[in-house]
Amino acid sequence: MFRIRIIFKMLCQHVIFPLVYFVNRIRPVDKKLIILADSHHEQCPEHMTYLRKALMESDYRVEECFFDIYTLGKWEAFKRMVSFMAKYPTAGTVVICDYFLPVASCNKKKKTKVVQLWHGCGAFKKFGYNSKEDIPEGYVGNVHKNYSLVTVSGDAPIKAFETAMVLGAENVIKPIGISFTDRLYDEDYIGLCRDKFRFEHPNAVGKKVVLWAPTFRGNAKKKKGEVDVLPGENYIDLLMADHKYYVIKSTHPHLHRENTMTTSELLCCADMLITDYSSVFFEYLLLDKPIIFFAPDFDEYSANRGFYLDYKELPGKVLTLDTDLHTHVEALFSNDQYGDVREEYRTRYMSACDGCSTKRIVDYILG
């Protein structure tokens, strides 16, 4: 079944989508048409919201192509992609923030810009062509073809993105910042998040808030209501029983865990972050608060996935074995000794995320 899906994807990329583009290629490019596209969300992805708002305030025309291939159904998702391919030749700019196969399925017109915002900061676990989990062996075709601009959070991640996206020669990977990090400089946004948190979690008042945000592990096809216990979650549950702390879990939306606030919103409310392999820790660096990297399945995960960073040198307390978290959490709240390391990581990986990233991206799109 997996092999059939891969063959169908390659058939779409090399035959069906290019044919639709070719048929519509005669239509002129409208410089003022911007298409925002994503195949993992039914509405505008959170990582695109700040840029969307800024573009909506311009005199350019913004059209949206958002759908979730996991919930929509294969045939309906296929029709949405074909519809995108019919409009693609007329777009002045296409903006995406994740893998989006139709964008890379043809030789686009030179007048059309494709902006890849990506959906994470820095470069932590391997992805793209550096990871067999993302792009399996035997897949023919570059899923990152046609990019005009790939935005990254600083200078240090550029090399990883070049190899992961096979884009070294094109020189399109630019450290101009990640749009969605602008909200961490927005006092109104932070205030609204904290008000929402106090309203929805009144029992957290007076306690230290600890956010557990593990990485997405690829089981997005589980039916709603089906939940696996993630590695280390039993120790998180034990920590939740300690009334000194208010522990909240924030997993990937496709894992179907009930949570009314997004991870990004919760970051603004947390006094400490616990994660395993999620790049969300790069965002949290901008808030300069303590981090625990808790990865009891480190040996297995690192062997299968791999990292761009030395896991043992990360900017926080690193725990790679099963362990009771109470002692480590309490010790880190009492004596946060990782401030200098966090500053070093901010400088290397997040230097372009200064609250003005969206403006720079808009300036590029509008020319």
Higher pLDDT, 137 or 306: 306
| Residues forming a β-bridge with 38 | 66
218 — pLDDT class (breaks 50, 70, 90): low
CA distance 180 to 188: 15
State yes or no: pLDDT of 138 exceeds 80: no
pLDDT of residue 310: 95
Over residues 200-223, the mean pLDDT reads 81
Instruction: Please state, in angstroms and as integers, the Cα–Cα distance from residue 294 to each residue in 16, 17, 56, 304, following that order.
Output: 44, 43, 41, 18
227 — pLDDT class (breaks 50, 70, 90): low
Over residues 304-332, the mean pLDDT reads 94
Determine phi and psi for 52, rounding to 5 degrees. -60, -45
Average pLDDT, the chain: 91
State yes or no: pLDDT of 172 exceeds 60: yes
State yes or no: pLDDT of 96 exceeds 70: yes
At 337-351, the pLDDT tens digits run 999 999 999 999 999
CA distance 352 to 148: 19
State yes or no: pLDDT of 220 exceeds 50: no
Tokens of 131: 């990871």
Over residues 65-81, the mean pLDDT reads 89
HEC letters along the chain: CHHHHHHHHHHHHHHHHHHHHHHHCCCCCEEEEEEEEECECCCCCHHHHHHHHHHHCCCCEEEEEECEHHHHCHHHHHHHHHHHHHHHHHEEEEEECCCCHHHHCCCCCCCCEEEECCCCCCCCECCHHHCCCCCCCCCCCCCCCCCCEEECCCCCCHHHHHHHHCCCCCCCEECCCCHHHHHHHCHHHHHHHHHHHHHHCHHHCCCEEEEECCCCCCCCCCCCCCCCCCCCHHHHHHHHCCCCEEEEECCCHHHCCCCCCCHHHHHCCCCEEEECCCCHHHHHHCCCCCEEEECCCHHHHHHHCCECCCHHHCCCEEECCCCCCHHHHHHHHHCCCCHHHHHHHHHHHCCCCCCCHHHHHHHHHHC
pLDDT of residue 3: 61
Burial (Cβ within 10 Å: 0-12, 13-18, ≥19) of residue 274: buried
| Residues forming a β-bridge with 346 | none
Q: Of the candidates 230, 227, 226, which has an alpha carbon nearest to the alpha carbon of residue 274?
A: 230
CA neighbours within 13 Å on the CB side: how many for 25? 12
pLDDT of residue 223: 45
Tokens of 322: 């099963």
pLDDT of residue 151: 98
Over residues 41-59, the mean pLDDT reads 95
pLDDT of residue 94: 98
Contacts of 3 (CB under 8 A, 6+ apart): none
At 238-294, the pLDDT tens digits run 999 988 999 999 986 555 456 689 999 999 999 999 999 999 999 999 999 999 999
Over residues 147-176, the mean pLDDT reads 93
